Amino acid sequence: MTLDRYAPHLRATLALGLPLVGSHLARMAIGVADTVMVGWYGVEELAALVIATSFFHILFFLGMGFGIGVMGVIAEAIARGDETEVRRATRMALWLSIIHPVLVLPLMWFSEPILLAIGQEPVVAALAQDYLRIAGFGLLPVLCGLTLNSYLAAMERPQVVLWITLAGLPVNVLLNWVLIFGNFGAPELGVRGAAIASVSVQVLQLVLLVGYAAWLPAARKYRLFRRFWRPDWADLRKVFLLGLPIGLTMVAEGGLFVGSNVMMGWIGTQALAAHGIALQLASITFMLHLGMSNAATVRIGQARGWGDAQWMRDAAVTVTAVSVGAAVLAVILFLALPRTLVGLYLDAGDPETPALIAIGAGLMFYAALFQLTDALQVIALGLLRGVQDTRVPMVIAAISYWLVGIPVAYGLAFALGLGPKGLWLGLVAGLTVASVLLMRRFWRGHARGDWTPAPAAV
């Protein structure tokens, strides 16, 4: 029976995917805590946090391709029993995750002139630079942690990643409460306090991940940290060439949203603050699909290692169905409770709160519109990364987000005068084009068996 055929895939997908979803949600919750608590502190500070985290995430997206891309490589190598390739690929991904933050830190240190040049208000740009000069030091532990997450997920050990990520949430909330508002006799640091809290948690999480990866009995045969300084130039090149297109793909997609943040800043501080809230609510549901996308990469990488095209197709159908179901639930929630969801981020006593809720609640309708297409495009990317197809998806992303999404957003918001709603319709347009093209590439190519397993390393 058809259901019997998919049932094992469903169980395996949920066993792998749900802890990954939980990890992404826990990581997202740290960002939500920052946004909520800074929102309580002040509207200008909230607007600065929105634009600063957007700046940070563009540089993060550019570097995260190495950690994400290596997931499929590791899964395939494990399926082939190639211990050498597991060690080499993971180690070189960690090298690249260290090099990238060192290279981009100056951009965050001198971010105020850049933000002023793209039209942000002076007070918002200054506060954003205050945040980035501290938060920039968290990029290295975040990227290295992401690579270790991929390493452990490919070994089907995502549960500990979840617990380590969850452990950081209460620590972050406590440090935020102390440092943002100046409690317990600490200085009142505002957005700088939020940045210190985030970096502290990111370092703690990396230490725990390194400790677990070194201790895990199933991973000891890979000897990941033994002679860590020893290079493997062939694998460094392989991971770089695989990961860079993923990073650029993430930049293209992230750039769509960052571009909407920048253009929303042209409309006004209130619009930018409300937009940041609505976008973060949409990002929470995106974490569900991102976790399933990671599971898709592992499952498809395993199928490629085994050379089993039918297994690959069945796994792909299963993970896609799970993500679509989650998207439908998100649509219902966004349409049913828009004002309640936006109000969670704001101080009820602030005189600006009613205006922010009105703007934000209106945007939630458009957030509901792109739930399905956002789910499909990120699942398609996960499927394609499982077969190590990253260059063409990069081109598709650039076309969808920068030749469709951004121009449509600008045209509707400013040329046609739709304002914030027009910007969000541009997001819908870009994500829809991406989802169609990416899904078409996987199902009309790789799902038919148009690939061959990679040879084992020697």
Q: What share of the chain is helix, strand, coil (3-state, %, to 5)?
A: 85, 0, 15
Rounded CA gap, 215 and 210, in Å?
9
Query: Which parts of 161-295 are beta strand (E)?
Result: none
Smallest Cα–Cα separation from 58: which of 340, 208, 261, 320?
Answer: 261
Beta carbons of 142 and 150 less than 8 angstroms apart: no
Give the Å distances, CA to CA, from 36 to 72, 99, 127, 371, 424.
35, 32, 17, 23, 22
Residue found by looking up tokens 């969670």 in the block: 344
pTM above threshold 0.95 = no
**DSSP 8-class letter at 427:** H
Neighbours of 339 (CB within 10 A): 12
Domain chopping of the chain, boundaries: 13-448
Beta carbons of 269 and 43 less than 8 angstroms apart: yes
Neighbours of 106 (CB within 10 A): 10
Contacts of 150 (CB under 8 A, 6+ apart): 67, 68, 70, 71, 74, 90, 93, 294
**DSSP 8-class letter at 416:** S
Beta carbons of 87 and 97 less than 8 angstroms apart: no
Rounded CA gap, 306 and 328, in Å?
33
Residue found by looking up tokens 């929630």 in the block: 333
pLDDT tens for each residue of the chain, 458 residues long: 466 788 888 888 888 888 888 888 888 788 778 888 888 888 888 888 888 988 898 899 899 989 988 988 898 888 888 888 989 999 999 999 999 999 999 999 999 999 999 888 888 899 999 999 999 999 999 999 999 998 998 888 888 888 998 889 899 999 999 999 999 888 888 899 999 999 999 999 999 999 999 998 988 898 888 888 888 899 999 999 989 999 998 888 877 877 887 888 788 777 888 888 888 788 888 888 988 998 999 999 888 888 888 888 999 999 999 999 999 999 999 999 888 888 887 777 777 788 888 888 888 888 888 889 999 999 999 999 988 898 999 999 999 999 999 999 999 989 898 888 888 899 899 999 999 999 999 998 777 666 555 444 33
